[in-house]
A = this chain, B = another copy of it.
């Protein structure tokens, strides 16, 4: 595949750098990359990795996201939901907790939608395709077990294999 936007990201970086009135070497030092490499990036000769991109963004004191958008690495589309974005960005949650919260949230949305349409029906019509709707995986319940005191088996499996 060609590199259609590599040039634009380079131009963008150079633009930002010049607006900040700092030299290539200064930015390179601030970003922790070598000056030759930064030079090549700015001229579109190299496609920097995400890591380098992030460091450059830091060195420029600009939003990483702006840079990623410029690089075409983040679709500019609005996030589907602020709730999900907030959950995903919350470092206070464990991976599993995050997923559980999102699952619950999404199922709430579905429930809400179903309530709207389901004026006369009362039984669950078994959604035609489950390819897209995640019906709360077992992790959901597993993670909730500690809270759901009424649960049958106290199989908690609260392993925090993190770190």
Contacts and interface: CB of A to CB of B under 8 A. Distances in A.
Taking residues whose C-beta sits less than 8 angstroms from the other chain, chain A's interface range is 35 or more
A136 B150 contact: yes
A57 to B, nearest CB: 9
B53 A64 contact: no
Contact of A80 (B86, B88, B99): B86
A47 interface: yes
A86 B88 contact: no
Interface string A83-126: 11111111111110101110011011101100100010000000
A96 B95 CA distance: 25
Given A51-B2, A157-B159, A91 B79 contact: yes
Contacts of A135: 147, 150
B80 A83 contact: no
Contacts of A93: 105, 108-109, 112
Contact of A51 (B3, B15, B89, B161): B3
A142 interface: yes
Interface of A: 2-3, 8, 11-12, 15, 19-20, 47, 49-51, 53-55, 63-66, 68-71, 73-76, 79-95, 97, 99-101, 104-105, 107-109, 111-112, 115, 119, 127, 134-144, 146-148, 150-151, 155-162
